[in-house]
Structure 1
Amino acid sequence: MRTRNNRDESFQQQKDELLSSGKKGSVDTYIVRRLLRYVKPYRGLLAAAIGITLVGSALGPLRPYITKLAIDDYVAKGDIPGLALVSLALLGIILLDGVKQYTTTWLTQLIGQKAVLNLRMDIFRHLQKLSIRFYDRNPIGRLITRTTNDVEALNEMLSSGIITIMGDIMQVFFIVGLMFWIDWQLTLIVLAILPLMLYVTLTFKKRVRVAFQDVRTHLARLNTFFQEHISGMNIVQLFDRQGSEYDKHSAINRDYRDANVRTVFYFSIYYPLIELLSAIAAGLVIWYSGIRMLDADLTLGVVISFVQYIWLFFRPLQHLSDRFNVLQTALASSDRIFRLLEETDTVREPTEPARIDSFREEIRFSNVWFAYNGENWILKDTSFTVRRGEKVAIVGATGSGKTTVINILSKLYRHQKGSVTIDGTNIGNISEKNLRKMVGVVMQDVFLFSGTIRENLAFGKPGVTDEEIREAAKIVGADRFIRKLPGNYDYRVRENGTGLSAGQKQLLAFVRALLYNPEILVLDEATSSVDTETEQLIDAATAKLMKNRTSVIIAHRLSTIQRADKIIVMHKGVIRETGTHQELLTEKGLYYKLYLMQHPEKMHLRTD
């Protein structure tokens, strides 16, 4: 891991140096260097592919030369046996060229797939390290575009781009060399068209690069829109927004279409221009050859071979433009991917983490300040203590900072001021793995992965036995409804638990937490989305789950936390009151008002 980090820092330094140099193409150079890192482990396959491609690039240019020999040395002289031999030689070259094409295609595809596999693994590994703040500001659809469309663009370049470009360039050199060998004057006529072709190609390159960047940007917007609206389709339909959302999608789709049409426009100009230049070169060669043939200064075989060479010469150049299309798309995609891989908004692990084998004394928040954005403080000078074995509840109105406390305790976010310690050790000095073995959280919005009930329950403890899973489910009260499902514990959960009720998902989350067996249990609004019957099941389960365990309970329903050892009342990020249920009722403060709001039948308790 250390080696990987050092390598990443080295690449970042290279990028900074290239960018500061101000040279055109510096960023592209940096991207290519990064890509070579993924190809390097397969340098044996790469060397074989390059070698076969370079050697095999001579096979195509040999065909017109053999055609010249056949016409001038055998057909013109009526040498039938010689013509048969040269025809067999031509057939052999064609067969060898086919073998070369097959071998290079297989090798390049293999290299591309292996390299892209490693790249995908690096992207997913890096995504797991990024902080929750990063996901707050980056739409899921954009990230999906990076890991699918952009990676596939790279795969295409690695599979059929770079090596093929090398082969095409080498083939051009072979063609020019043989053309000069046959007749240097006709060769100069053909090459006279080359400067104009280079100008057209460079102009095309500049325009199409920008166009492909626009295509990727609009594709990311389209994926984001799709992801959001498919996930929230029930809201769209409930509020009868199908028409307006269709119009929004139509506008985004039009932008994506227009970006693609721009690329098509550039190609529709470029290809005909290349064809026109090829035709002009062929016309000039035929015209000049005709003059020389009248003077008996040129043979028919030379003329025919040169006409073949013209089309053969411009074909690799056209291929280069196609490969350039692939290359430009891949470079634009690579830039986005490497920006993602260079994202530094990660949860920083301590260089020398403190080790806590078990929770012994207390959790202490001391003068903690926290804001998600700027100085829009969610927590303000927050201080409290949770002692080992205590059951502490945190209550307050929506937005008071209750869940933020949990996010900081579990290191999903880092606080800006103050300190949070466990047994006197700052949580910033505790590794995530060590901390999260101690702290288990049951969130308000339960997330279930696609897979079986058993796989979801064992998510935090992969080696758990089936008997332990069933026993935990019985304790929580989930076993009863699980056994009614088709396949019971092998029931396939659909995306995010679709088909299960909110209460059932909450019960599964409780089983998962019980199997995880944390020393510090956090319940974040764990009963806010369940009916009364399920709440009674959960209340009974939590009583068993919290026994001999330190617990922090976030709750809207005050009925669920009346037996807590301590209740912390928060309001607008500030702790307003602390005490037991009875003590806070006696004080007749904010908690007392919240209690009366939820239990209007207790209004007779009011004395003010």
Structure 2
Amino acid sequence: MSNKKENIFDITLFKRLFKYTKPYRIVFYGVLLSVLIIGGLSIATPKLLQIAIDNHIKLKIEKGFLYYIIVMVILLVLQTIFQFFFQFYAAWLGQNIVQDVRVILFNHMLKFKMKYYDNSSVGMLITRAVTDMERIADIFGQGLFMIMRDLMVMVAISAFMLYTNLKLSLIVFVTMPIVLYATKVFQRYMKKAFEEVRTEVSNLNSFVQERVSGMKILQLFTREATEYRNFKAINERHKKGWLKTIWYNSIFFPIADFLSGITSGLIVYFGGLMVVISSTATAGELFMFIMMIPQLFRPLRQIADKFNTLQMGMVAAKRVFKIIDTTSQINDKGTIEAQDFKGAITFKDVHFSYVENEEVLKGISLNVKAGETVAIVGSTGAGKSTVINLLNRFYEINSGEILVDNIDIKTVTLASLRNQIAVVLQDVFLFADTIMGNITLNHPEITEAQVIQAAKDIGIHDFISSLPNGYFYNVKERGAMLSSGQRQLISFLRAYVTNPSILILDEATSSVDSYSEQLIQNATDKITKGRTSIVIAHRLATIQKADKIIVMDAGKIVEQGTHKELLKKENGYYRNLYEVQFLKADVA
């Protein structure tokens, strides 16, 4: 029995959500006070009507009748004022609470490991941060306080009915158990329906987000018809989920209206007999009861409707809190604040796996001297990018040590570690912002003058100046207004302007034009000069200039040395890569 109640409404979850009202307690109690006042006003007008009928209309006495009309108008104005206060501040409270929860959620998501994002749908996370948040706001704006108001009105009217005329009250209450039972069943089924709806909304958002982002691939491979069919199937499930809620509403609300009508008919019939035959009720009481029946049944009907809203909000809150409760952060317990690394890097027997029991790095040990440029080469899946990810602590190693300047990076605060390292990735990500915004990432200490000077230093100032609005050219989402080579140049400038102690380059120039490639090569030479640089090399020119080459295969370092040293090894891994991959790429 307790499980069923828990399924309908999660008290523990609600208590947790209720804690967010603490900063707004004055408004919260103000809304509660307006609930009490609205409940009191709900019985005042019917009572005045009863007095007016019994003492004036029935007795045909005109004197004093106008007084009741004036009081009714005043009460109506007061009810309107308090309804406004109630609805506005209930919604205001909901929006402020959601603002606070959304900030907490986003701040929590900013600290997640990359592994969390590797395993999570972007569309799902967007649904949690946007759509589900609005449902939580509805808990206060459209759910909780509305239910409290309606309950207050029902309690006030029921108590006043019993006080006024017990027999007429019992006639009214004869259908109430049926309505209450129907409401309970309705709520249980609606809870399940809303959980299904939220799941399908998340699936739909994920599907649309991924297909819009990958539209070029879909069109290149002529997958429009297939994805259209897939979308229709997902949309059909989404529609069926909503149709369940519509079906339950279509059953419940007509039943509630029918029972309200039946109750009014019973009051008219039996109440009329009581007025005419037994005189156990007055005409004013009869009219008052007829007026109060809709006020009693309408809130009950609305409570069921608002409980739907409350349940949708609770389902959304459960999903949001699930993310907030997720512990997927890098263990940032370091106490050392990194200032200026010299840049000496050491990996000591580092083991790592993305998936448990499937090692990607199998005991990597390497030394990079301060100021060296080291090229990492190897076939796809050898573990090259993993080395970069681990140095930045995007993932936690299984065992071993990673040191910078002989300091274990786990003892360094995460923010200060990453401030000392700049990364230029192969897959450049630009925000829908200006070039200046994408370079500085709104860092308050990086000035426009510094950005322009840095662009001149690495030889891309002329390219940026040639664009409309120059440094304030909006590149649109993911840098869609720029070519791949231009995006790469922007990422080089973004790394260079931070003046990092350690530079990591995933040097990818195979898909860019010769002009951009030359600019990238010049930029590479400039930004690697005088600082420790680790380059995942794709071009022979970069490899030949490296102070040391590390050759990886299947998660292990199989060779180390200079370009000339490694070429001398008969049947060596590097020599094979050089002849098969790098020479071919260089000729291309």
User: What residue number does 2:299 align with?
Assistant: 316
Q: Which amino acid aligns with 1:284?
A: L
CA distance in 1, matches of 2:551, 2:144: 64
CA distance in 2, matches of 1:22, 1:56: 35
Matches within 5 A, 1:515-526: 515-526=497-508
| 8 A Cα contact 2:539 2:582, kept in partner | no
Query: Residue deviations 1:425-457, cap 9 Å, x none?
Result: 221222111111211111111111111111111
Matches within 5 A, 1:142-153: 142-153=124-135
| 8 A Cα contact 1:461 1:516, kept in partner | no
Aligned-CA RMSD value: 1.8
Q: Which amino acid aligns with 2:6?
A: G
Alignment of 1:183 with 2:165, yes or no, is yes
Alignment of 1:386 with 2:368, yes or no, is yes
CA distance in 2, matches of 1:479, 1:401: 35
Alignment of 1:330 with 2:313, yes or no, is yes
- Counterpart pick for 2:384 among 402, 405, 419: 402
User: What residue number does 2:554 align with?
Assistant: 572
Alignment of 1:25 with 2:6, yes or no, is yes
| 8 A Cα contact 1:368 1:416, kept in partner | yes
Q: Secondary structure at the match of 2:497?
A: helix
Judged with a 3 Å threshold, the aligned counterparts in structure 2 of structure 1 residues 601 and 367 are, in CA distance, closer, same or farther, namely: closer
Deviation at 1:462, TM superposition (A): 3.0
CA distance in 2, matches of 1:132, 1:601: 34
Alignment of 1:286 with 2:268, yes or no, is yes
CA distance in 2, matches of 1:545, 1:174: 76
**Count of residues in correspondence between the two structures:** 582
Alignment of 1:505 with 2:487, yes or no, is yes
Deviation at 1:356, TM superposition (A): 3.2
Q: Secondary structure at the match of 1:367?
A: strand
Q: Secondary structure at the match of 1:556?
A: coil
Stretch deviating more after TM superposition (373-382 or 243-252): 373-382
Percent identity of equivalent pairs: 38
Deviation at 1:595, TM superposition (A): 1.0
- Counterpart pick for 1:431 among 413, 420, 425: 413
| 8 A Cα contact 2:132 2:317, kept in partner | yes
| 8 A Cα contact 2:344 2:370, kept in partner | yes
CA distance in 1, matches of 2:274, 2:455: 95
User: What residue number does 2:70 align with?
Assistant: 88
Q: Secondary structure at the match of 1:25?
A: helix
Judged with a 3 Å threshold, the aligned counterparts in structure 2 of structure 1 residues 196 and 23 are, in CA distance, closer, same or farther, namely: closer
User: What residue number does 1:4 align with?
Assistant: none
Judged with a 3 Å threshold, the aligned counterparts in structure 2 of structure 1 residues 523 and 460 are, in CA distance, closer, same or farther, namely: farther
Alignment of 1:534 with 2:516, yes or no, is yes
Alignment of 1:549 with 2:531, yes or no, is yes
- Counterpart pick for 1:115 among 97, 110, 124: 97
| 8 A Cα contact 1:448 1:496, kept in partner | yes
Deviation at 1:81, TM superposition (A): 2.8
Stretch deviating more after TM superposition (46-55 or 209-218): 46-55
Deviation at 1:602, TM superposition (A): 12
CA distance in 2, matches of 1:361, 1:99: 68
Q: Which amino acid aligns with 2:233?
A: A
Stretch deviating more after TM superposition (426-435 or 238-247): 426-435
CA distance in 2, matches of 1:600, 1:440: 29
CA distance in 2, matches of 1:477, 1:542: 11
Deviation at 1:528, TM superposition (A): 4.3
Stretch deviating more after TM superposition (371-380 or 201-210): 371-380
| 8 A Cα contact 1:460 1:512, kept in partner | no
User: What residue number does 1:272 align with?
Assistant: 254
CA distance in 2, matches of 1:554, 1:502: 18
Alignment of 1:225 with 2:207, yes or no, is yes
Q: Secondary structure at the match of 2:74?
A: helix
- Counterpart pick for 2:350 among 355, 365, 368: 368
| 8 A Cα contact 2:338 2:413, kept in partner | no
Deviation at 1:421, TM superposition (A): 1.4
Q: Which amino acid aligns with 1:409?
A: L
| 8 A Cα contact 2:348 2:400, kept in partner | yes
CA distance in 2, matches of 1:301, 1:67: 7
| 8 A Cα contact 1:394 1:570, kept in partner | yes
| 8 A Cα contact 1:54 1:166, kept in partner | no
Stretch deviating more after TM superposition (200-209 or 360-369): 360-369
Stretch deviating more after TM superposition (153-162 or 398-407): 153-162
CA distance in 1, matches of 2:302, 2:4: 27
CA distance in 2, matches of 1:38, 1:242: 46
User: What residue number does 2:145 align with?
Assistant: 163
Stretch deviating more after TM superposition (236-245 or 466-475): 466-475
**Tell me, which stretches of 5 or more residues in structure 1 are unaligned?**
1-20, 604-608
**Tell me, which stretches of 5 or more residues in structure 2 are unaligned?**
none
| 8 A Cα contact 2:342 2:501, kept in partner | no
Stretch deviating more after TM superposition (229-238 or 538-547): 538-547
Judged with a 3 Å threshold, the aligned counterparts in structure 2 of structure 1 residues 110 and 460 are, in CA distance, closer, same or farther, namely: closer
TM-score, normalised by the number of residues in structure 1: 0.93
CA distance in 2, matches of 1:565, 1:478: 26
CA distance in 2, matches of 1:599, 1:73: 105
| 8 A Cα contact 1:478 1:504, kept in partner | no
| 8 A Cα contact 2:343 2:531, kept in partner | no
Query: Residue deviations 1:434-490, cap 9 Å, x none?
Result: 111211111111111111111111127432222211111122222122111111111
Query: Residue deviations 1:538-588, cap 9 Å, x none?
Result: 222222211110111111223322111110000111111100000011113
Q: Secondary structure at the match of 2:239?
A: helix
CA distance in 2, matches of 1:334, 1:598: 53
CA distance in 1, matches of 2:564, 2:585: 14
CA distance in 2, matches of 1:294, 1:553: 100
CA distance in 2, matches of 1:179, 1:573: 80
- Counterpart pick for 1:596 among 562, 573, 579: 579
Stretch deviating more after TM superposition (525-534 or 471-480): 525-534
